[in-house]
Amino acid sequence: MLDFNTICEFSRNHCVAICAFLVPANLVATISTIILTAVRRPAAQVQRVATIGNLFAGVMIFHVITWFMVGVVMAPTYVLFILASTCLSVNCWAMAHPSSMVRLIRGLLALIGFNKQQLASNE
C-alpha cells in the first residue's frame, strides 16, 4: 500500500520529470478549455476538458505543497503554485459560468482588432 510519505518523496525525487510533464499539460488543457468555451462547444465537452485540466492543476498543487512541507521556499515553487492555481481557476470558471468567459474573450478580441463581423462569420 502506498504511504503518504512515499508519495511525497517520489514527488520530490522526480521533480524535473513531473514538472516537465505537468507545466505543458496544464497550459494545453487550460488553453483548450478557453478555446472550446470561446467557440461555444457543448457544455459536456468543455467540462470534460476542464476536468482533465483540473486534475493536472491539482497534481501540480500537491507537488508544490510537498516542497513547502520540507521548507523549500523559492521562486519556482511560487511560480508553479500560481500557474496551477490560475489554471484551476480558469477551468472552474469555464465550467461554472461559461457565458461570462465568452463575453470577456469577445471583448478582448474586439480590443485587439477583431470586429463583430469577423466574430459573427466564425460562428
Closest Cα partner for 37 from 105, 120, 111, 123?
105
pLDDT value of position 73: 87
Task: Answer with the residue of higher pLDDT: 113 or 67.
Answer: 67
- Backbone angles phi and psi of 73, in degrees to 5: -120, 95
Closest Cα partner for 57 from 40, 74, 80, 36?
80
pLDDT tens digit string along 26-51?
999 999 999 999 999 999 999 999 99
pLDDT value of position 78: 95
Q: Locate 43 and state its grid cell.
A: 457544455
pLDDT(119) > 60: no
Taking residues 75-101, what's their average pLDDT?
A: 95
